Amino acid sequence: MELELYGPDDKFYSKLDQEDALLGSYPVDDGCRIHVIDHSGARLGEYEDVSKVEKYQISQEAYDQRQDSVRSFLKRSKLGRYNEEERAQQEAEATQRLNEEKTQASAIPVGSRCEVRAPGQPPRRGTVMYVGLTDFKPGYWIGVRYDEPLGKNDGSVNGKRYFECQAKYGAFVKPSVVIVGDFPEEDYGLDEM
């Protein structure tokens, strides 16, 4: 390849052809550009279609037989999913978390007024519309229809409807941030304007 230096006004300054010269030895200034001329014979876009690139593939059985692979290292070192004790502990923690969420969720009846107090966000009032497991994320979730358009959805996520409400009025939150009680709709006095 050849390198050419052009000034801010697109005027040719010089060729950058001295192999041992540093960039600072050329008259480079703000706004200059270096133009690259490729003589390798590669065509533009030649490697953009990855289906044309030949890939090396190995069967799972053959990979399992190798001793110099990441998988064999993880197995020998009992790391990640190959650490039975850690996996059992993680599964126990996940089960405990799920049971705690289930207990919290069972205390939140559908149709009750609530206030959502998520960390880092102002309190939001609404009505509980859904309590239970969802397809979009694991664990128990509370579907809330907010009094104001402060939500993220209309009661459906990824095409599955969990409850009905207007767009931007619905949200799903964890049971730990929902407080059920006598939370009347706030009157902001907007109707009087």
DSSP letters for the chain: -EEEEE-TTS-EEEE---TT--GGGS---TT-EEEEE--S-PPTTTTT-GGGS------HHHHHH-SSSHHHHHHHHT-GGG-HHHHHHHHHHHHHHHHHHHHHHHTS-TT-EEEE--TTS--EEEEEEEEEE-SSSSSEEEEEEESSS-SSBSSEETTEESS---TTSEEEE-GGGEEES--PPP--S-TT-
Bridge-partner residues for 126, per DSSP?
114, 146
In contact, 109 and 119? CB cutoff 8 Å: no
Split at pLDDT 50, 70, 90, the class of 188 is low
In contact, 36 and 5? CB cutoff 8 Å: no
Residue labelled with tokens 């405990």:
96
Split at pLDDT 50, 70, 90, the class of 191 is low
- Pull the structure tokens for residue 20: 């041992």
Taking the C-alpha atoms of residue 5 and residue 13, their distance in angstroms, rounded to an integer, is: 5
Bridge-partner residues for 35, per DSSP?
4
pLDDT surpasses 80 at 186? no
The pLDDT, as a whole number, for residue 190 is: 59
pTM for the predicted model, two decimal places? 0.57
Taking the C-alpha atoms of residue 110 and residue 144, their distance in angstroms, rounded to an integer, is: 9
The pLDDT, as a whole number, for residue 131 is: 96
Split at pLDDT 50, 70, 90, the class of 23 is confident
Tens-place pLDDT, residues 51-85: 877 888 899 999 989 999 998 998 888 888 888 88
Query: Mean pLDDT, to the nearest integer, of 32-58?
Result: 81
pLDDT surpasses 60 at 100? yes
The proportion of the chain whose per-residue pLDDT surpasses 90, expressed as a percent, equals 63
Split at pLDDT 50, 70, 90, the class of 142 is very high
